[in-house]
Structure formats: structure tokens, C-alpha cells
Amino acid sequence: MEARTELSLAAMLAGIGFGNAGVQIPHAFSYAVASLKHAWVPEGYPDPYPFVPHGFAVAVAGPAAFRFTEPALPERHREAARLLGGDDLAAAFAELARDVGAPTSLRALGYEEADLPALARGALQQQRLLATSPRPVGEAELLEILRESL
């Protein structure tokens, strides 16, 4: 019960942090990534069925998105990398994903090059999230980030 209570508190605080900090490109991708294909089955779930958990749908494009946004705010990216124990945010985030056993590519979730336009269109519908990007992002930029995430 104590562990559940502490985990619930941590989840609540993370939600407050996300709500106040704003999220952007990786979250814009998450809706399309989680809903376009239903082929990947995450390990460790009771009664497993094909779906992509929200956190994995967000994380898979994180490194490429951070490489895209870094030129706009290099100092903030360096600080985030430092908090993750590294010097480069994209690399530190990718290492964290590997360490926790998260999928690290769209291909790992069953996506191919042919799926990228649909994923980009899905992300473009999330303007409230894309508007907070430190760099302007349109369909061409989203496609490039997705290609890097394959």
C-alpha cells in the first residue's frame, strides 16, 4: 500500500509538472502512434493485447524531436540532459529508454516508411501541442523527425 501511495503521488506530481511546463512535438505524435496500428504487444501487462502505451508513444520520437528543437534553446536542452546524467539530451533520453526496456524506434512498434505521412497528418491535428515547440514545425519537419525515429 505504501508503494502504491508513493507511486500515485509521483504520478500526480508528474502530471502537474507536465501541465505547467507544456509539452510539444513528441506528445503531438503520440496520438497517431498509439492509434494508427495495433500490432505491438507490450511486455508485462496481464491479459496482453496489441496497443502502444501513451508513454512509449511519446518517447519513441523524443530523441529526434530533441535534436530538432535543440538549436532554438540549447541551454535548456543541456540542463535537461544534465538532469538525466548526460551532456546531450537526445542521447541521454535514448539511453534512458533503452535502460527501462522501452521501444526505441517506430519500426519496433511495427511502423514503416509508408506510415510516416499518416503519422505526420495525425500530429498536425495537435496544434495545441505543436504551438509550444521552440522551433516552428510543419509537415516537412514532422516527416523528418519521424524518419529519424524509424
Q: Is the pLDDT of residue 21 over 90?
A: no
Q: Is the residue at 102 inside a domain?
A: yes
Sole residue written with cell 511495427: 110
Domain that residue 126 falls in:
23-149
Confidence of residue 45 (pLDDT cuts 50, 70, 90): confident
Q: Is the residue at 15 inside a domain?
A: no
Q: Is the pLDDT of residue 64 over 90?
A: yes
Q: Is the pLDDT of residue 5 over 90?
A: yes
Q: Is the residue at 12 inside a domain?
A: no
Instruction: Give mean pLDDT, residues 67-81.
Output: 96
Sole residue written with cell 499518416: 118
Concatenate the DSSP letters of all residues of 61-120 into one string: THHHHHHHHGGG-HHHHHHHHHHTTSS-HHHHHHHHHHHTT---STGGGT--GGGHHHHH
Mean pLDDT of the residues in the chain = 93
* CA dist., res. 31 & res. 33, Å (int): 6
Q: Is the pLDDT of residue 22 over 70?
A: no
pLDDT given at position 39? 84
Q: Residue 84's domain is classified under what CATH number?
A: 1.20.1090.10
The whole model's pTM is what?
0.86
Q: Is the residue at 144 inside a domain?
A: yes
Q: Is the residue at 129 inside a domain?
A: yes
Q: How many domains does the chain have?
A: 1
Q: Is the residue at 113 inside a domain?
A: yes
Q: Is the residue at 7 inside a domain?
A: no
What pLDDT digit, counting tens, does each position of 87-108 carry?
A: 999 999 999 999 999 999 999 9
